Amino acid sequence: MKIAGAEATKARRARSSEAVILFSIANQTFAIAADAVQEIRSTDSLGGAAIEIEQADVPKVRHLVERAKRTYYVVSGCAHFGLKVTRPTLVLILRQIRAAVLVDAIERMADITKLHALPRGFEGDERKWYRGLAYLEDRVIPVIHPAGFLTAEEFARLDQAAAESGAAAQLEGAAR
Amino acid sequence: MGATGMSGAANAGDKQSYVLLQVGNSRFALRSDLVEELAPPVKLHRFPNTTALVAGVIVRRGKIIPVYDVSRVLCGRELSVHRFYLVARRKFEKETEASAIPVNGECELATSGLVPGRDGDPAYFAGTLHVGEEEIKVLNLETLVSEARA
């Protein structure tokens, strides 16, 4: 019975906690659910695979990468959150949406046991950016809502721009 | 403590209890039934947001409380030094939410009648109190915060 009790407690704890990745952009720490991230790559290793897209509708996106036959749009974390421009070293390739995010550094993994709702006093874009707030070791850390990086409308514009620049590249190749 | 709006809360002559608070060099008042506590200068946690006046959050008794830097509206600048947070409640439809304002000095209670505001006063002043020789503007927290966003 003691063992079963201990297992139940362990299972309860496992259910109520969530593994997150703590990362930083411009000295600001954020958390994102570990299972929302498919891959973490260095910008150096991804550099060759990144394709520049020319478009002005979504200024926070300047590149796309192809991974496993999917197109991921690379979002500048600084531009998305309105932070000062830094030199990102890593790319978080997300799982649920076709977006990858440029970040400065990964701090560590952590488990959060409680996700605090974003207070209602916050009424701006942050309601789309964050799922809530985590209180970890005397720090309040915003927990990212992955779908908040790009809206459906932004995806549509980027898809269109990517298709146009792809067609232009094909024409250029044919002309050569 | 009920959490009602400031408007129509008191007529001139009806005495009511107010908390007097100092922001910058000026004193203001807030209806005392909206006030939860005067908190010490705990750590202000900042993170990116686009909401006007929200400077960050503080943590009190396990709750995360947004901090409104109203000094930008009341004094025209951000205060570099403050000593306490006055925690009051804002109303959101049927719910209320604790909200903090950085204040410079200790707060005190005063009971006085509210004199309606003059034409031309900003809408975030609900009226004036006469405390001794002093005229103190009564804040309407809801309007103060929402006007800054307009």
Model ipTM value: 0.85
Mean pLDDT taken over chain B = 86
Residues of A in contact with B68 (CB under 8 A): 121
Return left, alpha or beta for A132; rule: phi > 0 is left, psi -120 to 50 is alpha, else beta.
left
Query: What number is the average pLDDT over the span B123-131?
Result: 91
A124 in B contact zone (CB under 8 Å): yes
Share of chain B above pLDDT 90, in %: 55
More confident residue, B131 or A128: A128
**Per-residue confidence (pLDDT) for residue B7, from 0 to 100:** 40
Q: To the nearest whole angstrom, how far is the Cα of B19 from the nearest Cα of chain A?
A: 22
A142/B47 touch (CB, cutoff 8 Å), yes or no: yes
B47/A138 touch (CB, cutoff 8 Å), yes or no: no
Share of chain A above pLDDT 70, in %: 85
A119/B45 touch (CB, cutoff 8 Å), yes or no: no
For A142, which residue in chain B has the nearest alpha carbon? B47
Q: Tell me which H or E stretch contains A143.
A: strand A139-144
Give the angle B5-B9-B14 at the CA atoms, nearest 5°. 160
Q: Tell me which H or E stretch contains A48.
A: none
The pTM assigned to this predicted structure is 0.85
Residues of B in contact with A142 (CB under 8 A): 47-48
Q: Is the dihedral of CA B102, B106, B111, B117 positive or negative?
A: negative
B81 in A contact zone (CB under 8 Å): no
- Dihedral angle, C-alpha B38, B43, B47, B52, nearest 10 °: 30
**Per-residue confidence (pLDDT) for residue B149, from 0 to 100:** 64
* pLDDT at residue A92 is higher than 50: yes
* Of residues B49, B64, B92, nearest to A126 (C-beta): B49
Say how far apart CA A170 and CA B13 lie, in whole Å: 81
pLDDT tens-digit readout, B53-101: 999 999 999 999 999 999 888 887 777 677 899 999 999 888 999 999 9
**Per-residue confidence (pLDDT) for residue B10, from 0 to 100:** 45
pLDDT tens-digit readout, A49-81: 889 998 889 999 999 998 888 899 999 999 999
By three-state DSSP, how is residue A18 classified?
strand
